[in-house]
Amino acid sequence: MKEKNNNESHDMKDLKIQTDFSFDDDLYNIKESLKQQVNDQIEDEQNTSREDDGFNTNNMPNLDDYPKKKKKRTGLKIFIGILTFIILFASFLIFTKPGNRLITKLLANYISSSVNKDDPTTPDVNEQEEVSEYDWNTREIVGRKEDYVTNILLVGIEEIFGGRNTDTMIIASINTRDNTVQLSSLMRDSYVSVPGWKSTKLNAAYAHGGIELLRDTIESNYKIHLDGFVSVNFDSFEKIIDLLGGVEIQLGAKEANYLNTTNYISNKAYRNVKEGINLLNGNQALGYCRVRKVPTYDGVNNDFGRTLRQRRLLNAIFEKYKNQGIIQLVNTTNTCLGYVKTNLSTGQIEKLLNAMLEINVSTIGMKSIPIEGAYEAPKRYENTTWPILLDWDANIIDLYKSIYGDTDEEALNHLSTIKTTLQ
């Protein structure tokens, strides 16, 4: 057994050496080799046919005079040669790093050309204004930034009675050093300092200045760098869920009763959920992730319960999406991209795809900020009703530990350094 393992180890090393090659050189070599093989096969077949039929090479007949059986045999060999090339090329794409990079490059260009690149700003901001990729990528770094972590702000926009509020704010963090993906929900009632405005609840930042002011607010308060955003409004969210064929969500008795007796599920025909596992359609799922007046099936209440529902729903989407067949997956992706808005560049999308490919994520970490025991929720604070007052140091240290994989000491040192830099 030990000898077998050693052999497997040598095989893996040999495989690694074989896959570390230039895409252009090896693809050219494969094509030339196969072309030569096909030409040799054709020539051999022609020579054999001439000998069998007594052809004089000095008086060679037209190829149209060859027996049909000989032509079919030659055509079959050409077909086999082409098929061999296709199999080798597909193996190259699937099993080598250069091949994977080619796939992700093509996919990144497709995604970048399909998503909406405009800024989902508030009505009082010029609707033609676009978010500048340049500004997001080269501006002054305010919060913590590490090369091995990409932080994407996920925003769910509520558009009711002409208003545009951020009902959902989640930081998706891809850590390529520790091979983790983390979803960190930010409570919309968190009391924060808004640059250029007075301190207020976090969800008010977007109403005052769109996605860029929301970004600045999060970075300056939570002390992390955001690399880009992805947003979706409620109507598009429903359509995406329906395209996936619904998602499976567990409901408690109180949740089911609340959804069936209120307008959170806006279509009355769908107010028929039950306690236990439900396959929720888009309209039902949207109502579910907005509930905060009753606890979750495991007893989490208020806005903590709502953000937990949102993370559970995102995880259910992830599970449903990754389990689709390849044809269905391509069709779903193609349609869903039109509902999403982002400022991520093609290069950033390619980087994320490569990271997800190497991480091979099977589960997603989930948490809510503020953490338990590191906040207060008074009825009123500085003319703001029911704000959530965070113990910022405790929450940022916890955020650093989950996103960047820090120890307590490392997180504290990073926070101290950033605070000193910003003074």
Q: How confident is the model at residue 342 (pLDDT cuts 50, 70, 90)?
A: confident
The residues near 423 (Cβ < 8 Å, ≥ 6 apart) are: none
Q: Do domains 118-226+360-423 and 230-342 have the same CATH topology?
A: yes
The hierarchical CATH code for the domain 118-226+360-423 is 3.40.630.190
Q: How confident is the model at residue 83 (pLDDT cuts 50, 70, 90)?
A: low
Asked if residue 387 has pLDDT above 90, the reply is yes
Q: How confident is the model at residue 84 (pLDDT cuts 50, 70, 90)?
A: low
Asked if residue 44 has pLDDT above 90, the reply is no
The residues near 244 (Cβ < 8 Å, ≥ 6 apart) are: 317, 320, 321, 324, 332
- 202 φ/ψ angles, rounded to the nearest 5 degrees: -60, -40
pLDDT in tens, 227-279: 999 888 888 889 989 988 999 999 999 999 999 999 999 999 999 999 999 99
More confident site: 77 or 50: 77
Q: What is the distance between the alpha carbons of residues 163 and 286, in angstroms, rounded to a whole number?
A: 17
* Residue 10 burial (C-beta neighbours within 10 Å; 0-12, 13-18, 19+): exposed
Q: What is the distance between the alpha carbons of residues 244 and 325, in angstroms, rounded to a whole number?
A: 12
Q: Where are the alpha helices (DSSP H) in 169-249?
A: 204-222, 234-243
In the chain, where the domains are located: 2-95, 118-226+360-423, 230-342
Q: Which CATH number fits domain 230-342: 3.40.50.300, 2.40.50.320, 3.40.640.10, 3.40.630.190?
A: 3.40.630.190
More confident site: 46 or 164: 164
- Tally of CA atoms within 13 A in the half-sphere of 98 that contains its CB: 15
pLDDT in tens, 265-308: 999 999 999 999 999 999 999 999 989 899 999 999 888 898 89
More confident site: 78 or 215: 215
Q: What is the distance between the alpha carbons of residues 280 and 271, in angstroms, rounded to a whole number?
A: 11
pLDDT in tens, 188-213: 999 999 999 989 999 899 988 899 99
Q: What is the distance between the alpha carbons of residues 389 and 116, in angstroms, rounded to a whole number?
A: 35
- 116 φ/ψ angles, rounded to the nearest 5 degrees: -80, 135
Q: Where are the alpha helices (DSSP H) in 115-172?
A: 133-138
Asked if residue 20 has pLDDT above 70, the reply is no
Q: Quick one: pLDDT at residue 91? A: 44
Asked if residue 98 has pLDDT above 70, the reply is no
More confident site: 109 or 309: 309
Q: How confident is the model at residue 368 (pLDDT cuts 50, 70, 90)?
A: very high
Q: How many helices (H) and strands (E) does the chain have?
A: 14, 14
Asked if residue 161 has pLDDT above 80, the reply is no
Q: How confident is the model at residue 363 (pLDDT cuts 50, 70, 90)?
A: low
Helix or strand holding residue 382 (H, E)? none
